[in-house]
Amino acid sequence: MADPKIQPRRDEDMNACVDALAAVHKADGYPVTWPSDPARWLTPDGLLEAWAALDGRAALGHLAITRTSPELARGTGLPAGQLASVARLFVTPPARRYGVAQALLDTAEAAAAARGLRLVLEVEDGGKAAISLYERIGWRHVGTAPGDWTTVDGRTALMHAYLAPVRIP
């Protein structure tokens, strides 16, 4: 696989991003409930920026950053205004283990830093590969709490919060 191009998500990328999301939903059940308007779902409230990982016209992955809720910020020890939340991060099954997620995260970290912000995210307990990635690249676990939704296998989601490391340029 060639290195994907990570770029700010454009309107013309949206159909490819929705197709990639459909592949992830079919493989992993993410999102748990397929949204009635997937393009809108990929554009959450509080959106600051979004990126697509592209191989030609095909999307291999996606990541957005949003404003951070006070609840998520609480575990970090930082005010919400100093944070940006990772949202809608996914990589298609064939593109996994090629560094796509890390490239998206690196791009988002740089963009957040340019805004004077640090990244935070939540990941469901079942996302073992994602958790492994976050910990391998230096993200710090800052809390765990039950989610307000049910997983595909019927459990109440258990959400882990992670804070990005401070990177020295």
Is the Cα dihedral 134, 124, 85, 52 positive or negative? positive
- Is 166 a member of any domain? no
- Is 101 a member of any domain? yes
Task: Write down the pLDDT at residue 169.
Answer: 65
- DSSP string of 111-128? HHHHTT-EEEEEEETT-H
Give the pairing of strands 156-163 and 83-91: unpaired
Name the amino acid, one letter, at 129: A
Give the pairing of strands 118-124 and 83-91: parallel
Lowest-confidence segment of 6-10, 78-82, 104-108, 149-153 by average pLDDT: 149-153
Tell me the CATH number at 104: 3.40.630.30
Average pLDDT, the chain: 95
Residue 121 backbone zone (phi > 0: left; psi -120 to 50: alpha; other: beta): beta
- Is 58 a member of any domain? yes
- Is 15 a member of any domain? yes
User: What is the total count of domains within the chain?
Assistant: 1
- Indicate the pTM of the whole model: 0.95
Structural domain range at position 87: 5-122
How many angstroms separate the CA atoms of 158 and 148, rounded? 9
Cα dihedral 105→109→110→114 (10° resolution):
150
- Is 163 a member of any domain? no
Structure tokens at 101: 């997620």
pLDDT tens profile 96-106: 999 999 999 99
pLDDT tens profile 94-144: 999 999 999 999 999 999 999 999 999 999 999 999 999 999 999 999 999
Where does the pLDDT of residue 168 fall: very low under 50, low under 70, confident under 90, or very high at 90 and above?
confident
Distances in whole angstroms, Cα of residue 118 to Cα of each of 24, 99, 126:
27, 21, 25
Task: Write down the pLDDT at residue 167.
Answer: 79
- Is 68 a member of any domain? yes
pLDDT tens profile 34-59: 999 999 999 999 999 999 999 999 99
- Is 143 a member of any domain? no
The residues near 143 (Cβ < 8 Å, ≥ 6 apart) are: 74, 75, 160, 161
- Which whole number is the average pLDDT over 8-21? 98
